[in-house]
Structure formats: C-alpha cells, structure tokens
C-alpha cells in the first residue's frame, strides 16, 4: 500500500517544490520524509551539500532517512536515469511498496546545459513510471531563472505546497509532446570562431581521427576518448539513419572541445532518444544513449534543413 499524497496512484508521482525560503522548503520536505519513514518506505534525499545539511539538522537524530552521496548523480541526465532506475529496482525487489525521494539539481544545471536537464525532467515521467516512486524536485525560485521555472512547470504534473497541498500544474505537458517540440540550441561562444575541422560525409574512422588530431592536451585523456566514442556513434547514426550530407565541425576552446554533427534528416523519431536506451538497436538509439553518457553536454536541434547533435567534452558551462 502506498501512503501519503501518492496513495492509490500507480507508477510515478512526480512533484516540484517551488520554494523561496528555507522555511518553505522544510515545510514541504520534513513531513514528506518523516511520513515515508513512518510508513516503512525507503526515504531518500538527493540534495547538494547546503540543503542536505539544512534537512539533516531539522530531522530528529537517527531519523531513518537516507542521504544519497552528493557528487555525480546529477552530472549527466542519462546517467542519473540509469542509476535511479537501478536503485528503484533494488528497492522494489526488496518489497518496498513505495520509494520516496526528494532531490535538487546543482545550480550549474540552470545555464548552458539546462536544455538536457529540462528533457530529463520531462523524460522521467515516463522513465520512472514503472516504479511506485513519489519524488519531489526542489527548485529555488530566487535562484532558478525564469525560463528554467517555465520548463519546470511544464515537466512536473504537480507542485507540493508548504500547506500540505499537492496542486496539479495546468501547463504540465505530457513527455512525448514536450520532448517532440523544437528546442533552440544556445550557441557556444567557440562556435562563433572558425571550426578547426570541417568534414563532409566523413567515415566514422575519419571523424575519430579528427578528434584525436584536435586534442591539444587541454582535456584529460579519458575525456578525449569518451568524446571519440560519442563522435563515432553520432557520425554513424547520421550516415545510417539521417539524410545526406553529414557534416562534422569541431571547435577547440581552452577548456573544451565541441563537435557538431548534422545531417539533412529530421533526427530520431523516438522522443526519449539519448535519455533512454532504444528498444531496437536498428534505430541507432543505443549510440545516442551512449553519447549522452560520454559527454558533459549533448544538445539536439531540429532546424529547417538539418538535424544537429552538438557534443561537448570538458567544461560545457559557457555564460548564457
């Protein structure tokens, strides 16, 4: 039996907290956590250091709440989905009737890489729906920019209030629709410079060689290797599933290498491409999924003439 606001709900019960003070945050989070522990449900906190400490201090000693180790869970959306799905499967296998998680993204996610986190927030409505999960995503309205909050509203079915309310959000948009909408791609400033490499219809081997040749030692060797994997997969997908011409352009900055691969097609039909592994390998979805876990940012853009995948190794957080 599920308890709390999600009692009687099947699948994923996804909420946002839009808070503007510590008191507001705690007023939602504490009853959520204590209710979970009281019901014997696995109850987890995936907060950054500051808010984790705030909650820890506010909870009674030995509360039974589990604090997820900070760090890399929210480094890449696809990796987050993968590790959360594994965690949820383990709890369900142990007989948990419901799992409660409250989490927050690092503020660095609200800048140049927000597009893939917005896709994450939308996709998890589907990706976690086969689990009895009740999760709340906390957003500080004094920190998150307006466009981020607009996406939060469209990707969370409800908002949890400090008065114990759980109010449906009118603009919430079902994941398949939201993810199929055209999204603008913010131009990385290095893209304003002449590309270091520009190839038309390269073989994957030529594309890989171009990345190795562009490596000036500005990135750790492992990051370059992972970028090579992503570029190889992306060029392969463009050649196999896209329409000609396939173009690869590469820019190198002091702290990053950026590669854009475009083709004349419409891009993958699967709205979850990149975030979830494709069920059919022939659709190229596995390569897209791997690329999303091999780079620090992947942006997708459907233009009038081309579908573009932009891959960033190194620091993706340019000022926006």
The residue ranges that bind other proteins (CB under 8 A) are 82, 203-205, 208, 221-222, 225-226, 228-229, 232-233, 236, 240, 281, 286-287, 290, 293-294
Q: Which is nearer to other proteins, 109 or 290 (CB)?
A: 290
| CA dist., res. 2 & res. 20, Å (int) | 29
Locate 12 and state its tokens. Answer: 């994923």
CB of 100 closer than 8 Å to CB of 44: yes
Minimum CB distance to other proteins, residue 290 (Å): 6
Using CA atoms, how far apart are residues 296 and 4, in angstroms rounded to an integer? Answer: 37
Which C-beta is closer to other proteins: that of 6 or that of 261?
261
Closest distance between other proteins and the C-beta of residue 124, in Å? 19
CB of 216 to other proteins, least distance (A): 19
- Please identify, using beta-carbon distances, which residue of 132 and 287 lies nearer to other proteins: 287
CB of 79 to other proteins, least distance (A): 9
For residue 245, whether the previous peptide bond is cis, meaning omega lies within 30 degrees of 0, is yes
Q: In what order do the strands lie in the sheet with 197-200?
A: 197-200, 247-252, 256-263, 307-314, 297-302
Tracing tokens 């949890």 back to the chain, one arrives at: 160
Minimum distance from residue 242 beta carbon to other proteins (Å)? 14
Tokens at 230, concatenated = 């992503």
Name which of 22 and 201 has its Cβ closer to other proteins.
201
The nearest distance, CB 287 to other proteins, in angstroms, is 7
Residue (of 119, 117, 96) closest to 106 by Cα position: 117
Q: Which is nearer to other proteins, 74 or 172 (CB)?
A: 74
CB 316 within 8 A of CB 274: no
**Closest separation between CB of residue 106 and other proteins, Å?**
22
The smaller minimum CB distance to other proteins, of residues 65 and 288, is found at: 288
Closer residue to other proteins (CB): 136 or 210: 210
Q: Give the span between the Cα atoms of 151 and 132, in whole angstroms.
A: 24
Question: By the 8 A CB rule, do 248 and 205 touch?
Answer: no
The span from the CA of 236 to the CA of 311, in Å, is: 14
DSSP 8-state class, residue 281: G
End-to-end CA distance of the chain: 46
């Amino acid at each position: 039996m599920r308890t709390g606001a999600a009692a009687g709900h099947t699948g994923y019960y996804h909420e946002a907290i839009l808070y503007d003070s510590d008191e507001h945050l705690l007023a939602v989070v504490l009853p959520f956590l204590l209710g979970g522990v009281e019901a014997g449900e696995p109850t987890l906190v995936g907060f950054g250091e500051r808010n984790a400490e705030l909650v820890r201090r506010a909870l009674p000693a030995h509360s039974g709440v589990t604090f997820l180790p900070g760090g890399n869970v929210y480094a890449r959306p696809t990796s987050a989905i993968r590790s959360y799905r594994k965690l949820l499967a383990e709890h369900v296998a142990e007989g948990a009737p419901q799992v409660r998680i409250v989490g927050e993204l690092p503020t660095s996610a609200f800048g140049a890489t927000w597009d893939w986190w917005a896709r994450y927030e939308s996709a998890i409505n589907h990706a976690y729906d086969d689990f009895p999960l009740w999760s709340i995503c906390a957003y500080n309205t004094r920190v998150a920019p307006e466009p981020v909050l607009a996406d939060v509203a469209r990707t969370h079915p409800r908002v949890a209030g400090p008065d114990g309310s759980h109010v449906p959000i009118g603009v919430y948009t079902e994941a398949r629709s939201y993810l199929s909408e055209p999204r603008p791609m913010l131009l990385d400033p290095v893209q304003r410079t002449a590309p270091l490499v520009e190839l038309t219809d390269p073989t994957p081997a030529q594309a890989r060689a171009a990345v190795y040749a562009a490596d000036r030692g500005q990135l750790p060797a492992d990051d370059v290797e992972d970028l090579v994997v992503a570029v190889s997969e992306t060029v392969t997908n463009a050649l196999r599933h896209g329409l000609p011409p396939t173009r690869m352009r590469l820019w190198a900055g002091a702290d990053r290498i950026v590669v854009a691969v475009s083709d004349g097609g419409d891009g993958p039909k699967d709205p979850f491409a990149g975030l979830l592994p494709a069920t059919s390998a022939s659709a190229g979805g596995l390569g897209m999924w791997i690329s999303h876990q091999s780079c620090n940012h992947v942006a997708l853009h459907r233009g009038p003439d081309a579908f573009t995948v932009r891959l960033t190794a190194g620091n993706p957080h340019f000022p926006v």
